[in-house]
Structures are given as structure tokens and as C-alpha cells.
Chains A and B, each alone.
Chain A
């Protein structure tokens, strides 16, 4: 005979499987639809034909060299930003937190801007150096915010972290604006597009630049799901359960910064993805991180790749920055979420 607990466990397992399957299907749908955007139309049947080896050279080039890497990059950036947001929300116990809060976007943006200022946008090196630079900029900003919010003997409180974050960000944005004014036209365009969240990297090299970061960081944070579970309780309760709270918070926040910085380096400043995707995932599967984190990566990937597809579909054959779409769609969803609670 089955106990009520076993029945419940099975129900939960079914729910999680369903959510994962739905997420993967949506991701594939976004992929198929996004193939059909731009100058050359590739309707779904064309896409399948090319994928199974029946394409002309021109079709192969478009699909494999331009569109496929772009949609994969969008999905990867979405997954990374969503995971980063989820970790930050749970560690700071602030449901309104997102990677922007820790100065990641501002710091990474400043680093990108400085690079463009000195080296331009044309160099091949930019692809692999930008994630590193973005991480350095984001890392320095987050450390600055963390230190300013740190109070001896008490650590950091969520509210102090947020207020310091807002203040430091304002300073960096001011500095960014001053620097941007002095840029020439092409560089200005690049920075403006970056800040609006345009997935500018479209080529396998950008996927390759992001891949090592995610291959290390994502398994690492999923491995720490139990620590995140306990940390999302009171910090006193977490301490009582044997978690070295300050140390684990630092490790996890560092991972969150690295995840988000590597993403924004290639995808630009995509707003709201890191804020909303974790909320969607929590509503779907609840707060246990062993399930929440993978589902969160999936909702993030679906959100950003769908937004990126949308960004290219509505003004064909041109496009608008993906970050604008996530903001336009994300803000109402978020307001709806707030009014429900």
C-alpha cells in the first residue's frame, strides 16, 4: 500500500517532469520560430530540412553560422542571468533583488565601455576578453557594495545591501554617462546597444566564450543547492544547522556575480530576466533548490530566447534590443506578481 507521503512524492515528481518537458518544448518552439526571422525566411519545414542535412550552402550558412548560435546564446544568457538572480534573491532574502542590484550590470557595463573606449569593437580578442573584463568590473563593484554594506560583528543585512547597491550603481551610471558622451558614433552605437541589452554576439565564438563559465559555474551552484536551501531560512537558523553563513554567502554571491557578468558581457544588459525567471520557477516548482535551480535555468532560457525571437519578429527584417523586450514584457508581469501578494 502507498502512504500519503509516497503519493505526494509521486505527484511532485510528475509536476516537475511536466514543467521540465513544457520548458524544453517552449525552448524548441522559440528556436524554430527564431529561425524564420530576418532577411531570409526559413519556415519550420525548411529548418527541419536543413537540420537533417538537406540545405543548400546558403541556407546552411544562415542557419548554422548566424541563427543557431544566436538563439543558443540567448538561451544560455537567459539561463545564467536567471540562476544568478535566483541565488541573489535567496541569499539576500529579497524577492526584488536581481543581478543589477549587486552592481553587476553597472560594473560590467563600465568595464565594457572602458574597453571599447581604448580598443574599439572590431578586435577578435574582444570576444574572449569581454567576459573576463565584465567579470572584473562586476566583481569590483560587488565587492565594493558588499564591503560598504558590511558592518562589523553583524555582517550584511539585506536592506543595507540593497541601499548600498542603489547608491553605488547611481555613481557608476553617472560615470558611464560622462564617458559615453565623448565616444565617436560607432562606439557610441555599440555601447548604447549593449546597455539596451542587444544580443550582439552572434557566432559560435561567443557561445564558446560563454560556455566554459557556465560549464563550471552551473554544476557548482546546483551542487550547492542544499546550502542554498538552508541559507534561504533565517541566517540564525542556517547557522544553527551548521552552515558557515558568511562564507557560504560570499561563495554563492561570487558565483552569482560571475554567472551574470559572463552573460551580460556577450548579451548586453538584459533587464528583468534575472528578476522574473526565478519567480516563475518558484511558482512552478516551489523553493527547494535541487529542483528550483535547473527549472530556473530553463525558465530563464525560455524567457530570453523567446524575447530575442520576439525582438526580431516584430520589426522584421530589422530588430530591437532583446533587453527592451524583456523589460516591456517583464515589468507588467512583475507588477501583476506584486499585486497578487
Chain B
């Protein structure tokens, strides 16, 4: 069962085709990570799946329904998407920003009903932000801010969350905190998660599925064991990688890598 299916997807910035004829599935109830080198089109893929970018060609299906035929709000009830380092207006409090997550569920003036308030409180609690509710978002650290945005996506109460590099600019403990939060959401709330990640080892450790992309094409789609191989990483990143099994997580991990020098890079 797939949460999102993309068929023959193409996306372009002006005349530059970034993704060309991609087929891709985001399986329901799993954590899927998209990896790939800079400029390979992984963010573009995520944006087209999340209807932030209109595809040049091809179809995206959300739970089997053509996404271009759904209204903006209908999509927002089913799928939340967090852009890379989003901005909030200055002075906005954590509680207010998280309550914006209720937007697609509200009508008219959108006064907060008791059930909306309960959901916001829950989202704050899960992200350990309950004590910071009245703090202004722009006075917070990067890690806290990322948690606020995740809390907003949680308040949206969707079965699917897309995230574009949720760990960028965070130090190692904050990275783990964010990914563990997403892992818990997936396991406890059965929330499907698809994200772009830069850190391969974190991707392998927390994902059920990985998609390696280069030049807008899928190099390999599969479990972390299938994707985190020396061969796939050579094709995807043009590196010689040393892959071992992480003794703690039992997942594959890349302990060292070098650039490939003798092979001409003609990508």
C-alpha cells in the first residue's frame, strides 16, 4: 500500500529539467529517506510530491487520488510538508505557530475549538515544547525552532509528513532528537514519513526505505541494507565508501569514503 505514487514525473526550473520521467512510491506506515548529491533533484522531487512545485509532466497520486484534482485544503488534511528552514514572522509565539497547523481543519474566522486546543496541546507535549508555548519563535535556538515547525505539522493531524532536510543546521544531539521524534511518530501514531536527508548514516539508521537519486533518476530504491552499499554510493555520490554494520543499531553505516579520481566524472 502506497501513500504517494508518482508516475513519469518531470520537474523543471524555467528551462532546466531537473527530474525527468521518475517513477516512485512512498510506502504507507514507513519512514522513507531520499538521499543524493547536491543538485540531484531530491528536494525538487519532495516539493513536487508535496504539490509545492507543479510537475512539468507526469502524475502524483495521494492515497490513490490524483493530487492535481484535490483542493489545497483537502491535500493539507492528508499531508503535511515542512520546507527547509522555514521562516516565521517576528514576534509570533510557539503556541500561535503550532495552532496554524489547524488551518486546513477550520472554517471562516477559525476560532479555536476545544478539540483544536487539545490537539495543539498534544503536539506541544510530544515535541517537549509545552513550557515554551508563550515564547517567541525568533528567540529560540535552531533545534527548538525545528521542533516547533514539526509540532505545527503534527497539529495538522495528517497520516503523512514530508520533510525537506529536517536536520540541517542542527548539532548532532539535536539531529538525533528530531529523528527520534519522527521515529516515535511513525511507530506510535503510524504516521508515514518521507524526508530528504543529507546524513547517510542517520538515514540508514532511522529509515525503513531509502531512495538514492542522482541526476533526477533513481539509482536504487530499497531497504537501507540494499541502498547503503559501496556500489550504490559509488554510482550516487562518486565515492569509494567503506560500509560496515553499526554495532548499536544493526544498520549499515559508512565509516570512511574517498573521492574516485581515476574514473572520469561526466555527469
Q: What are the interface flags for A143-159 relative to B under an 8 Å C-beta threshold, 1 for contact and 0 otherwise?
A: 00000000111100000
* A153-B12, A236-B52 given; A242·B109 CB < 8 A: no
CA distance A282 to B136 in the complex (A): 13
Instruction: Write the A24-55 contact mask toward B (1 if CB under 8 angstroms, else 0).
Output: 00000000000000000000000000000000
Residue of A nearest to B79 (CB): A240
Q: Mark B90-130, 1 if CB is under 8 A from A, else 0.
A: 11110111001101101011100000000000000000000
Please give, as numbers and ranges, the residues of chain A lying within 8 Å of B103 by CB-CB distance.
226, 229-230, 241-243
B54 CB within 8 Å of chain A: yes
The reply to whether B89 and A287 contact each other, CB–CB distance below 8 Å, is: yes
**Chain A residues within an 8 Å CB radius of B156:** 241
Cα distance A254–B59 in the bound complex, in angstroms:
33
Number of A-B pairs, beta carbon distance below 8 Å: 91
B70-91: which residues lie under 8 A (CB-CB) from chain A?
A: 71-77, 79-83, 86-91
In the complex, the answer to whether B76 meets A290 with C-beta atoms within 8 Å is no
Residue A288 at the B interface, CB < 8 A? yes
Q: Which residues of A contact B81 (CB under 8 A)?
A: 236, 239-240
User: A317 to B200, alpha carbons, bound, how many Å?
Assistant: 77
Specify which of B71, B77, B79, B100 is in contact with A230 (CB 8 Å cutoff): B100
Binary A-proximity of B47-66 (CB < 8 A = 1, otherwise 0) = 10011111000000000000
Interface size class of B (residues with CB under 8 A): 35 or more
B82 cross-chain contacts in A, Cβ below 8 A: 237, 240
Q: Give the distance in Å from the alpha carbon of A8 to the alpha carbon of B153 in the complex.
A: 24
For B92, give its contact among A236, A242, A244, A287 (CB under 8 Å). A287
CB-contact partner of B80 in A151, A240, A244, A288, under 8 A: A240
CA distance A8 to B131 in the complex (A): 12
CB distance from A328 to the nearest CB of B (A): 28
In the complex, whether B134 has a CB less than 8 A from a CB of chain A is: yes
Query: Among A154, A236, A241, A244, which residue has its beta carbon within 8 angstroms of that of B100?
Result: A241
Q: Is the CB of B86 within 8 A of A237?
A: yes
Given B54, B86, B109, which contacts A234 in the complex, CB threshold below 8 Å?
B86
Closest Cβ of chain B: how far from A83's Cβ, in Å? 17
Question: Can you list 24 contacts pairing A with B, beta carbon distance less than 8 Å?
Answer: A153-B13, A223-B108, A225-B109, A226-B106, A233-B86, A233-B87, A233-B100, A236-B47, A237-B82, A237-B149, A240-B50, A240-B80, A240-B83, A241-B100, A241-B104, A241-B156, A242-B71, A242-B73, A242-B74, A242-B104, A244-B71, A286-B92, A287-B89, A287-B92
**Chain A residues near B (Cβ < 8 Å):** 4-5, 8, 90, 93, 151-154, 223, 225-226, 229-230, 232-234, 236-237, 239-244, 282, 286-288, 290
